[in-house]
Amino acid sequence: MRYLTIALTKGRLASKTLALLEEIGITCEEMKDKNTRKLIFVNEELKLKFFLAKGPDVPTYVEYGAADIGVVGRDTILEEGRKLYEVMDLGFGKCRMCICGPQTAKPLLETNQLIRVATKYPNIAKDYFYNKKHQTVEIIKLNGSIELAPIVGLSEVICDIVETGSTLRENGLSVLEEVCPLSARMVVNQVSMKMESDRISDLIQKLKKVIKEA
């Protein structure tokens, strides 16, 4: 039996994924050591390998088959547009992709003005404004703290993730439009899905069962 390799998104998504996997009897003790500098972890008994990667890299590893399976946010899947199968919603990491800004920007959206949109997700923003809203905008790519952009006058609005809404509230911004709901998803390499269909389907069925019972 060959190893199945699973790529996890570093941080909270990885911890939640590992907790979920534990519920179906898949553990990886070496991964729990917070001080380890190891990059790849093995469960010899189950012939599984795990590694942690930055979110945007997870779909890349999965598309190329360096990982058979990945766990990543839907925001990243949409943004990266990689060729892979999205097989299940894991039900955690729930949040929304939204267009946000000061209330004064609302009429600019309603009347399809040529505005600037700051975002970490240029492809999602382009798809929303160009294909869904048919509004011409200028997209400005940023790498973090997106809420700063309308405050300092870089853009009129932002396209960003809203979870609790507290970052927006504390900065005098609001959700002006909703783009789509988000959560953690399991993705599978297209060849692995065929070659390892029994093991992967079994994993999906078990996970679906514990998620349903939760």
Binding site for ligand PRP (CB under 6 A): 120, 144-147, 160-167
CB of 120 to ligand PRP, least distance (A): 6
Distance of alpha carbon 193 from alpha carbon 191, whole angstroms: 5
- Nearest-CB residue to ligand PRP? 144
Closest CA to 31 of 44, 18, 12: 18
CB of 121 to ligand PRP, least distance (A): 9
Closest to ligand PRP by CB, 25 vs 144, is 144
Q: Are 75 and 97 a contacting pair, CB within 8 Å?
A: yes
CB of 169 to ligand PRP, least distance (A): 8
Closest CA to 55 of 38, 40, 70, 39: 70
Closest to ligand PRP by CB, 48 vs 99, is 99
**In the 8-state DSSP scheme, what is residue 164?**
S
CB of 67 to ligand PRP, least distance (A): 23
| Amino acid symbol at 72 | V
Closest to ligand PRP by CB, 102 vs 165, is 165
Closest to ligand PRP by CB, 87 vs 142, is 142
Closest to ligand PRP by CB, 145 vs 197, is 145
Helix ranges (H only) for the chain are 12-23, 58-63, 74-80, 106-110, 122-126, 148-152, 166-170, 190-195, 197-213
Distance of alpha carbon 163 from alpha carbon 136, whole angstroms: 27
CB of 170 to ligand PRP, least distance (A): 8
